[in-house]
A and B are shown apart, each in its own frame.
Chain A
Amino acid sequence: MRRTISADTYVALVLLLACAAVLNNLLSADLSGPYASPATLPVAATVVLIVLSFFLLAGSLRRAAPPSEPGLSRAAKLRVVALFVATALFIAAMAQLGYVLASIVFMIAAGLIFGNRNPVSLLGAAVVAPVALFFFFEKVMLVFLPASRLFG
């Protein structure tokens, strides 16, 4: 009989890897201070985290993997990934296309990902929200948003 590995096992392993990286960074750094160094608390927290991760690992191995949940559909997973990618691209594009243009494109993309197929509300939100924010910050509050690098 093959046992499925539960998600908690992976989480615990990722946590342990991260702890190793943090601990390595802390212990190799030259940190000093009177009585307690800048590394004392972070090292203590990392050690606690390692212990807790082992608890998580032990628990997940001892229990049989829970009957796999109904699980997300492929489409749902795709939507999450698409939203992440759209947001990352938007942040990158802000400095290139300028805030307003990048926002409008992003708002349309995000609206479509969320399943909005109504052109009026899709376009309405995509134009009104960025323009309103742009005027509020740049003109009223005198706070600058990224300007376009491509268009001067």
Chain B
Amino acid sequence: MPKFRTMLRTVAAAAMVFGLAEAGAAQDYPSKPIQMIVTWNAGGSTDVLARLLAEPLGKELGVPVAVVNRAGGGGSLGTMAVLDAPKDGYTVLATSSGNHVLTPLKNDVGYTYDDFIPIGQLVAASILLVVREDSPWQTLDDLVADVKANPGKYNFGAVPSVMPHLTLQGLVDNAGLDLVLIPQQGGAPGATALLNGTIDLMPANAATVASNLKGGTMRGLAVFSEERDPAFPDIPTAAEQGYEVYGSPFVGLAVAKGTPDEAVETLSAALEAVANDPAFQEQVLKTASAITYLPAEEFGKVWARDWNNFKPMLQK
């Protein structure tokens, strides 16, 4: 049996090295790598932003920040994973309107916006109303007049019940339009559907259609924000054109309630430092979203505002 005993000893030794090596106490936060959970697949707009953020945030905190994709269930699986993890500040949620506000309003997923502590908002994306470059509509008024003259004729495309769809629904209600929704699976398939003529107009996150707008295959008619998007200064707001409709999905960081104050403060300070770094801002702007940083407290107010805004539309 000596062979077997040697075997056991080797295993035990290996276990000591790799099992216990990470057992440092968490007095000085942060002392080990931090996981940043993204509730959507790798390659989506939230994911790209999180990956851009991970490196400078890690430098600021002095420990690596690793992006972990935990997609599915309209973002609810990843969000729940943060609530299920130890509340020690080593699991951070890269949170967006979809998983944070819209999904829990729509389905019974076991959490609400209030189960989290805000760290800070990074981006409030612009939602643009876009048409094909050869479309006859030059302004929102053109579109409204044409749609009113031809009720039920024109199609629009959107992923159902996410921010761009709900925002356009706001315009439909505001202007009294009759448009037909052709549901899409995502931003890129929606852009394809617009270009191949399946749909006539589309509300979209600026990042999704940035390449088409700058490349000249699509034209933006309106942006549903209070001010024009610095990346697209030529596209007027809907309010400028007389339609008081707003919609702006956020992306920011949050942690589960119950996380120690010390960790929350360290994370908030680090995020603020990175968000105000011009080099980081420039890099993010190139992927077509301008940084619109909000400190923790105000980010929390955005959650409550959106929750109350969309509650009547989504909750049955």
Chain A residues at the B interface, C-beta cutoff of 8 Å: 97-98, 100-101, 104-105, 108, 119, 123, 126-127, 131, 134, 142-144, 147-148, 151-152
Contact = CB atoms under 8 A, between A and B. Distances in A.
A100 B18 contact: yes
A151 B20 contact: yes
A104 B15 contact: yes
A104 B14 contact: yes
Interface of B: 3, 7, 10-11, 14-15, 18-20, 22-23, 33, 35, 64, 66-68
Nearest to B23: A152
B15 A123 contact: no
Contacts of A105: 11
Given A151-B20, A152-B23, A101 B15 contact: yes
A147 B11 CA distance: 17
Given A98-B18, A104-B15, A144-B68, A127 B33 contact: no
A148 B33 contact: no
Nearest to B11: A104
A29 to B, nearest CB: 13
A98 B35 CA distance: 17
Contact of A151 (B10, B11, B19, B68): B19
A144 B19 contact: no
Given A123-B7, A142-B33, A152 B14 contact: no
11 contacts: A97-B19, A98-B19, A100-B14, A104-B14, A105-B11, A127-B11, A131-B14, A131-B18, A142-B33, A144-B33, A144-B68
Given A119-B3, A123-B10, A144 B18 contact: no
B22 A134 contact: no
A127 B22 contact: no
A142 B64 contact: yes
B35 A144 contact: yes
Given A98-B15, A126-B11, A142-B64, 5 more contacts: A100-B14, A100-B15, A127-B11, A144-B35, A148-B19
Contacts of A151: 19-20, 23
A143 B65 CA distance: 10
Given A100-B14, A104-B14, A152 B22 contact: yes
Nearest to B7: A123
Given A101-B15, A119-B3, A152-B23, A142 B66 contact: yes
Contacts of A97: 15, 19
Given A142-B66, A147-B22, A101 B10 contact: no
Contacts of A142: 33, 64, 66-67
B288 to A, nearest CB: 26
B18 to A, nearest CB: 4
A119 B11 CA distance: 13
